[in-house]
Structure 1
Amino acid sequence: MPYKIQITAPVTRAATIASKVVASTEKREFYGFRNRVHHLPFIQVPIDLPVYRMENFRTFTDQRDYIAEHGKKADYFLAGTESEEVQQAQHQLLHRLALKGKADSVIPVAEVLEAEGQRQPLLITAGGIVVNGNRRLAALRELYDQGSKFAHFSHIDVLVLPADATAEDIVDIEANLQAVPETKLDYDWIGEAQLISRLVNLGRTPKVVADQLRRKEKDIKYAIQTLAEADLYLKEAPGTQGNYSEIREDAEQLFGDLPKLLEGKSEAMKEASRAIAWSLYQNKGRLEGRLYDYNAAIGSLADNVLDRVADELGIVTEVEEDADGDGEADDFAIDIGDELQSANFAGVIAALRSPDNEAAIEALIEAVQTEIQLDKGQKSGGAALKAIQQAHTKLASVDMSRAEKSTVGKISKQLDAIKRIVADLEDKILKHKR
């Protein structure tokens, strides 16, 4: 049976701590509070007295998963500091973390405490909330619950923050401790990004946050953008349960790359590119190589990929009218064999997001693999030939017998533009032969 949480009333907690602080004759240095050294009271308190801090970025991902799995309200943890049920849930999450090492090179916290006992005091507020050492407290409680062998854990060592420590101070303490290299053990990328986001939401610039965490400013911006793309995926992508655990292990690079891949695109094309990215991520096991290898299919080649999928599925992509509204293209609005800049890919997006999307996914995978290979060829000496071959293939596939009468005029203008391009290319060929 796990350790059973029993909460001491907040007033009683605070009074107990205050009386021990007054009686304390020992203080220890602490450097993470308000950017200067403080000498904090060192005391011992009963092991059942402190309560876990709920705004804990180390357990953020696990908290979100717990909420989704158990159908709890979004603020279940944040609003549950004084709830024994919520404290019990947080205890289980923390103890699970305490049993984990990292990459087989860090001994789990629980094992260290079992072998060596408590070597460092926990850090608590004047009200008994644990600011640093939540995992250690969970591990100590489980050991104490095993019986007489660990009876000496009935009381634990703590340092006590001043009574005027604010919520912002506490977030800063976690950030400052996270910035110390030897303590950066087990924040997953989502929890770390949430911490960064919290600091920025306190009104600090990315530069200020970067200095605080001893990072580069670009890394802070990257984390914020990555988290925004991840949140959007979990909110809107079909087939997800909205749990951060779905993306904890292998999605950081994809969501981190997306902002740059989407840069300069219209909102419609951003949506289309995300549809490609999300579909590839959900079907990454069917791809050759790494997902990263297909970045171009999400970015610069997205139009080509979507056009191929539309052709394969028989989806019509309507071309938008020109900005002047006269329905006439200025010159060569459609770049044959390359991009359909003004195409509407809503039908393709809908197909990819449909529950019955197997045909669309197969078409997408084939399209991205084809375009990636073609792009590699374009970067070689055969680029011009490949482009001409693609244009020829597209033109040869045109069936004028099925063209709507309303499009004939526009088709004629496009063919005139093609003739001018062909003439220009032929002139260049003659010069090339000389």
Structure 2
Amino acid sequence: MDFTYSFGYPNVQRTLAIAEAISNSHTGERYQVDYRGKYRPLPVIEVPIELLVYRIENIRTKSLQRQWLAQHRDLPRNLFVSDPFSIEAQENQHQVLKLLVDKENLLKTFRDNDKLQQTEPLICSNDGVVVNGNRRLCAWRELYYNNKSKYAHFQTVRVAVLPDNDPQGMYDLEVALQIHSDMKAEYVWHAIAADYQEKFDSGMDIGLLAAKQNKKPEEISTYIECYNYAAQYLESIGHQDEWMLVDKQEYAFKQIVVGRKNITNPGDKELFQEISRAMLQTPAVGDRLYKQIPKVVSELAIIAPKLQEVFGISIQDSNDDDLALLTGGDTSSENTTSSQIAAGIRLADNPALVAQTVKSVLDTTDELEKEKKKKSFIFDQVMKAATLLTNAVSNLDDAMSTEGIGKQLDNIEGACAVLRDWVK
């Protein structure tokens, strides 16, 4: 055959070539898989490396396909769905897979050891769609097409052929292989989440989807919520669909989703979301970012005024009007203040300062928690206050602003009265 396709023969030729290879095979080699509810001994054949096509519906590449299209605006938006077997779709899928191959050093593994050969067959449908082994096929093609003499052992590849090309059967097979312990690490979280979102959008019941995935419905829902929040986050920082940026932030997004559910006030939710966005952009501020998120929720009332102070945000008073009261609108001062602080830090666009401020507050509250355990806690706090007040008095200057000082002195005097009663 004189086909010139590097990324798959045309459909009819693929099907005929595979059927002919099975018919002419005399090795009797079989590869056992659980397919469509029963174990099957699949025939193993050898085919030219250029014959096979990548499975575009591959779970592992779902989110990366979106990233690829976001980074290549000249490509059709429906490239991967309109005709998955087209040369253009297959060539671009090869590039998407190459992102994974490079990231996981698979190409380097085969390149560094040019004697390393195929040991386990790929799995494909009876019309040559690769169900398992897309990354390996991509790596071998990269090597062979760039140096056919050095990597001549990849001129042909061994494949175990399924009895049909049933889409649901192929999907279930990939899922079964994916949840196997030694395969699981190959799938980044947002790829799995993108698949769940796609199935949910198509109308599949979450309970049924959970049963197929061997998971609880709540786990599926959490994945979908994390995926949607991550999509919003990427868009908000100007990197829409660049999913590799959030490869390692699965647990942070899970904590954010849980945190949002524990906040009832809309303004507080908005502020929490802005703080989370800043922390995601500057994870180096704290190790294990996802462990800091719950602290932000519990300390939001302390964090908010500190952010207001650091960013110099002026809060505009908002009086409840009759229409808001009639419609049940939330016009509480907490909602208004938090929303305005959220808008202020969003406008400032300084995520590093937001994260630094939040970390400072959390460090202080952690320190206070430790100090509360000491018998001398009250004395230590009063002593610190006395030192600060003495320092303020010794630095009095007529040029300094007196705004707000009177109110704070009233608060101090009230606190002092309570403490004196306690001491008596």
Hey, what's the Cα distance between the residues in 1 that align with 2:325 and 2:223?
45
Deviations 1:229-285 (A, max 9, x none): 2112112x2343541122223x22221210111113234432221111111222344
> How do 1:231-242 residues align onto structure 2 when only pairs under 5 Å count?
231-235=231-235, 237-242=236-241
- Matching residue within 69, 77, 86 for 1:83: 86
Q: TM-score, length-normalised on structure 2? A: 0.74
Return the structure number with greater helix share. Answer: 2
Question: What is the one-letter code of the residue matched to 2:156?
Answer: H
Look up the SS of the partner of 1:78 in the other structure.
Answer: helix
- Matching residue within 64, 67, 77 for 1:65: 67
- Matching residue within 336, 341, 344 for 1:351: 344
Hey, what's the Cα distance between the residues in 2 that align with 1:263 and 1:141?
47
Look up the SS of the partner of 1:59 in the other structure.
Answer: helix
Deviations 1:153-194 (A, max 9, x none): 33322222233x432222211111111112234222222333
Residue of structure 1 in register with 2:53 after alignment:
51
User: Which runs of no fewer than 5 residues in structure 2 stay unpaired?
Assistant: 390-401
Deviations 1:7-42 (A, max 9, x none): 422222223223444555646344342232123333
User: Which runs of no fewer than 5 residues in structure 1 stay unpaired?
Assistant: 328-332, 335-339, 402-414
Hey, what's the Cα distance between the residues in 1 that align with 2:221 and 2:132?
26
How many corresponding residue pairs?
386
Residue of structure 2 in register with 1:155 after alignment:
156
Residue of structure 2 in register with 1:252 after alignment:
250
Deviations 1:336-389 (A, max 9, x none): xxxx633343332233223x534x8636633552255136525725599979x8
Look up the SS of the partner of 1:180 in the other structure.
Answer: coil
Hey, what's the Cα distance between the residues in 1 that align with 2:192 and 2:44?
29
More displaced 10-residue stretch of structure 1: 276-285 or 202-211: 202-211
Q: Is the 8 A contact 2:111 2:143 kept in 1?
A: no
Look up the SS of the partner of 1:87 in the other structure.
Answer: helix
> How do 1:217-236 residues align onto structure 2 when only pairs under 5 Å count?
219-235=219-235
- Matching residue within 343, 363, 370 for 2:361: 370
Q: Is the 8 A contact 1:49 1:128 kept in 2?
A: yes
Q: TM-score, length-normalised on structure 1? A: 0.72
Residue of structure 2 in register with 1:141 after alignment:
141
Shift of 1:113: 8.5
Hey, what's the Cα distance between the residues in 1 that align with 2:342 and 2:283?
18
Question: What is the one-letter code of the residue matched to 1:156?
Answer: V
> How do 1:24-423 residues align onto structure 2 when only pairs under 5 Å count?
24=25, 26=28, 28-71=30-73, 72-95=75-98, 97-98=100-101, 101=104, 110=110, 114-145=114-145, 146-163=147-164, 165-198=165-198, 209=209, 212-213=212-213, 219-235=219-235, 237-249=236-248, 251-265=249-263, 266-285=265-284, 287=285, 289-292=287-290, 294-296=292-294, 298-312=296-310, 313-318=312-317, 321=320, 341-354=334-347, 356-358=348-350, 362=353, 365-366=356-357, 368-370=359-361, 372-374=363-365, 376-377=367-368, 380-381=372-373, 382=377, 398=404
Q: Is the 8 A contact 1:378 1:386 kept in 2?
A: no
Look up the SS of the partner of 2:186 in the other structure.
Answer: coil
Look up the SS of the partner of 2:344 in the other structure.
Answer: helix
What is the percent sequence identity of the aligned residues? Answer: 25
More displaced 10-residue stretch of structure 1: 210-219 or 307-316: 210-219
Deviations 1:411-431 (A, max 9, x none): xxxx9xx9xxx79x95x996x
Look up the SS of the partner of 1:44 in the other structure.
Answer: strand
Note closer, same or farther for the CA distance 1:292–1:218 as it changes in structure 2 (3 Å cut): same
